[in-house]
Copies of this chain bind each other. A is one copy, B any other.
Amino acid sequence: MITIKDVARAAGVSVATVSRVHNGSALVKEATRRRVGEIAARLGYSPHGAARSLITSRTNTLGVLLPDLYGEFFSEVIRGIDQTAQGHGYHLLVSSSHDDRSAVEASFRSMRGRVDGLIVMWPEMDQTTVPNLPARFPVVLLSAPLKPDGFDVITVANFEGAYAMVCHLLDLGHQRIAIIKGVEGNADAAERLRGYRGALASAGLFSAAIEVAGNFNEASGFRAATELLRREVRPTAIFAANDAMAIGALSALREAGLRVPDDVAVAGFDDIPMARYLDPALSTVHVDISALGEHATLRLLAAVRDKEKHEHRAETLPTTLVLRRSCGAAVPASLATAPTAGPAALHPPPLVRHI
């Protein structure tokens, strides 16, 4: 590996000059700049990142801690983060499978000196498990249920989205609406449940709540739907707390020979990219997932840029109702058919209702 010394020697200058050339310092004679630049290029020199970080105490890298890397949701989050970070000249150091406080803290330690800040998604965090990180170290929390001092927090309008979706199902005339709940102790899951209950209560149907357990993956949605179908009184609509479980529920209903939405209406939450390709296409609460990543990154970059003056905020991204076939909403004929070819037709516009 060739170092700054090799370049300096070959060019007959000091390492300071080579450094200045590489950092575009104005204090270099044009001729020197060109000569050193050429020699560096010829030698294939590139500055050693770790050495640079050590002296500048900047890494141009953001750490990303996620519970998991599996599936479309996390994939979209990362994409949003990556695009934004890359656009600002930052790299991404990613790490997954963080499901408790010590894992988060351990990851932080192992990233110390390698990142300028951290995005941590960990919806199971609660008051007692706020990670203990050095004060002033820039951290953005995603989907955190609280707003601890010293952190930026970005969440999704879970309550509002769930509330609106269940209200919509009520509007369609459903009286027996079941929810497949998300992971126990998960903040997103809790808020979506609260929205479901709130909507039922607003219709005077609070005691009609039908709640079954789920854990956000397809298999649990399948199991939950199967269980619901075994009950003597079946629900006429199923609201799954995320799309993955809705997909599992659709499978269960199909296998049971039930038609969606005719026999049972189904709705999800997230609007992952595949939701529109299911058959029937899935009605769901739209979350701009990559925007979540983008926002988190922008907040983090702001915090990194001025550590001192940065004011921590808690932001909530809005959600939107996206009505496709699975919930049985009457989709206007003009939207139901998409006669033109091309990308636009690929995504037959769903009925969108702003919440």
Contacts and interface: CB of A to CB of B under 8 A. Distances in A.
Given A49-B111, A52-B113, A94-B92, A251 B223 contact: no
A86 B93 contact: no
B69 A75 contact: yes
Interface SS, A side: helix
A96 B75 CA distance: 13
A112 B46 contact: yes
B110 A91 contact: yes
A37 to B, nearest CB: 14
A149 B222 CA distance: 49
Contacts of A10: none
Copies held by the complex:
2
B91 A49 contact: no
Interface stretch (A118-126, A180-188, A191-199, A270-278): A270-278
A226 B86 contact: no
A322 B110 CA distance: 42
A226 B203 CA distance: 46
Contacts of A339: 255
Contacts of A279: 254, 278-279
Interface in A119-167: 132, 134
Interface in A32-57: 44, 46-54
Interface of A: 1, 44, 46-54, 59, 61, 69-72, 74-75, 78-79, 82, 86, 91-97, 108-114, 132, 134, 218-219, 222-223, 226-227, 247-248, 250-252, 254-255, 273-274, 277-279, 337-339, 341-343, 345-346
Closest 8 CB pairs of A and B: A279-B279, A48-B113, A49-B113, A75-B75, A46-B109, A50-B53, A219-B343, A49-B114
